[in-house]
């Protein structure tokens, strides 16, 4: 999978283009706004920067990582029967802290052994998705499409003596997929996600949830989401697994 780097400020222009497209007259057929929130915890987060010469360390094994409340906001429009576009904003910042067990060479800065450090892991995601629904029966609904993702990431390590930060912004193409099974009136089990693997990295973002629709404009869900992936390049080595306990509300307009 190819990761394309984006110059500073360019991501803002891309987001504005996405919003202009969603708000254009051609796509205002029906609208949906979706808000998801809950608690995210870290399964693992392994880092080596530079990727070919830094010290490999783990935010979860080497330090203590706080669980964090999160939110994600998605706007969706049906542009044609069973064809949809959406824009997702999913910010995330996690904090960690502890004492270095070994010397850490991070981003060409050295943090000696037994140094008290704090770390910030930021991974903000902006995604424009397109998909088509395929209704197999009254109970089953399949969707397949693609996603253009901008990930705006940064890792910062700080001690009393120094601070070092590595920023990385780029474009990642993903496959978009989903399956909904309506097992009872107003109740459904759903799988929804974006994923792709290849080249120097991989990315998966998958939700497993049970949803309830009240027969009107609102639907609600609870579930589990996992986000996993990373890249192994000369510049950056970073692979992480994030676990989300989530609840969401979806509103039709």
Domain regions of the chain by residue span:
4-252
Report pLDDT for 27: 46
**Please, what sign has the CA dihedral across residues 9, 1, 238, 94?**
positive
Report pLDDT for 165: 98
Please check the confidence at residue 199 and state whether its pLDDT lies above 90.
no
CA angle 226, 176, 2 (to 5 degrees): 85
Report pLDDT for 125: 97
For residue 31 the two structure tokens come to 């609208």
Predicted model pTM: 0.87
Please check the confidence at residue 203 and state whether its pLDDT lies above 70.
yes
Please check the confidence at residue 56 and state whether its pLDDT lies above 80.
yes
Q: What is the pLDDT of residues 34-53, one digit of tens each?
A: 999 999 999 999 999 999 99
Kind plus residue range of the DSSP H or E element containing 141: strand 140-158
% of the chain exceeding 90 in pLDDT: 83
**Please, what sign has the CA dihedral across residues 218, 193, 126, 66?**
positive
Q: Return mean pLDDT, the chain.
A: 91
Confidence of residue 136 (pLDDT cuts 50, 70, 90): confident
Listed range (27-31, 54-58, 60-64, 126-130) with the worst mean pLDDT: 27-31
Report pLDDT for 238: 97
- Domain spanning 4-252: CATH superfamily: OMPT-like (2.40.128.90)
Q: What is the pLDDT of residues 72-113, one digit of tens each?
A: 999 999 999 999 999 999 999 999 999 999 999 999 999 999
Tokens 């996603």 -> residue:
147
CA 35 to CA 39: how far, in whole Å? 14
Count how many residues are written for the chain. 253
Please check the confidence at residue 177 and state whether its pLDDT lies above 60.
yes
CA 167 to CA 165: how far, in whole Å? 6
How much is the average pLDDT of 180-192?
95
């Amino acid at each position: 999978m190819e990761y394309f780097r984006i110059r500073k400020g360019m991501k803002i222009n891309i987001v504005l283009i996405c919003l202009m497209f969603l708000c254009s007259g051609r796509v205002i057929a029906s609208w949906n706004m979706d808000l998801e929130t809950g608690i995210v915890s870290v399964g693992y987060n392994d880092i080596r920067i530079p990727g070919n010469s830094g010290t490999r360390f783990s935010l979860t094994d080497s330090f203590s990582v706080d669980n964090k409340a999160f939110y994600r906001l998605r706007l969706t429009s049906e542009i044609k029967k069973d064809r949809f576009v959406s824009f997702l904003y999913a910010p995330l910042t996690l904090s960690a802290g502890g004492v270095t067990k070994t010397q850490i060479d991070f981003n060409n800065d050295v943090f000696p052994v037994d140094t008290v450090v704090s770390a910030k892991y930021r991974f903000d995601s902006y995604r424009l998705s397109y998909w088509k629904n395929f209704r197999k029966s009254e109970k089953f609904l399949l969707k397949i499409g693609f996603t253009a993702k901008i990930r705006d990431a940064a890792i910062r390590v700080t001690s009393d003596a120094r601070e070092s930060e590595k920023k990385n912004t780029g474009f990642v193409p993903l496959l978009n997929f989903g399956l909904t099974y309506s097992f009872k009136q107003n109740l459904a089990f759903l799988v929804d996600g974006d994923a792709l693997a290849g080249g120097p990295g991989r990315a998966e973002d998958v939700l497993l949830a049970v949803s309830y629709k009240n027969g009107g404009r609102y639907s609600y869900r609870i579930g589990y989401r996992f986000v996993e992936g990373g890249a192994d390049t000369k510049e950056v080595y970073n692979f992480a697994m994030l676990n989300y306990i989530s609840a969401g509300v979806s509103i039709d307009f």
